[in-house]
Amino acid sequence: MIEPTVSLFPATSDRGVLRVATLGPEDDTLDEMDRLLSTLGVELTHRQCAPVRRVQAGTYYGLGKLEELKKNADDAGGVDLFVIDVELSPRQMQNIEKILDGPVLDRAGVILEIFSRHARTREAKTQVELARLQYVLPRLAHLWSHFERQRGGGVGNKGMGEKQIEVDRRLVKRRIEILRDRLKSIEKERVVQRSSRDHLLKVALVGYTNAGKSTLLNALTQSDVLAEDKLFATLDATVRSLDPDSHPPVVAIDTVGFIQRIPTSLIASFKSTLEEIAEADLILHVVDASSSKAKEQMETTLEVLKELKCEGKETITVLNKIDLLKTPGERNRAKVLSPGAVRLSAYQVEEVLALRTRILDHFKNKMSTIEVLIPYEEGKLHAQIREFASVTSTKPMERGVFYRLQIEQAMSERLQLVRFELGGAGGRK
Residue type, 374: I
Contact 279, 200 (CB under 8 A): no
Whose CA is closest to 274, among 351, 203, 204, 379? 204
Q: Is 395 left (phi over 0), alpha (psi -120 to 50) or beta?
A: beta
* Res 272: pLDDT: 63
Give Cα 107 distance to the centre of its chain: 17
Give Cα 243 distance to the centre of its chain: 24
Residues of the chain with pLDDT under 70: 1-7, 11-15, 141-162, 194-198, 225-237, 265, 268-273, 424-429
b/e map 400-418, b = 16+ CB within 10 Å? bbbbbbbbbeebbeebebe
Distance CA 381, CA 171 (A): 54
Contact 105, 37 (CB under 8 A): no
Q: What is the pLDDT of residues 166-208, one digit of tens each?
A: 888 888 899 999 999 998 888 788 777 766 666 788 999 999 9
Q: What is the pLDDT of residues 69-101, one digit of tens each?
A: 999 999 988 999 999 999 999 999 999 999 999
* Res 151: pLDDT: 45
* Res 152: pLDDT: 44
* Res 8: pLDDT: 80
Determine phi and psi for 17, rounding to 5 degrees: -135, 145
Whose CA is closest to 45, among 102, 90, 112, 108? 102
* Res 248: pLDDT: 76
Contact 57, 83 (CB under 8 A): no
Inter-axis angle of helices 140-151 and 90-100, to 10 degrees? 60
Whose CA is closest to 205, among 345, 307, 301, 118? 301
* Res 235: pLDDT: 58
Query: Cβ neighbours of residue 238 under 8 Å, at least 6 residues apart?
Result: 214, 217, 225, 253, 254
Contact 295, 337 (CB under 8 A): yes
Q: pTM score, two decimals?
A: 0.76
DSSP string, 150-169: HH---TT----HHHHHHHHH
b/e map 161-187, b = 16+ CB within 10 Å? eeeeeeebbeebeebbeebeebbeebb
* Domain annotation for the chain: domains and CATH numbers: 19-167 (3.40.50.11060), 198-363 (3.40.50.300), 367-427 (3.30.70)
Distance CA 179, CA 92 (A): 28
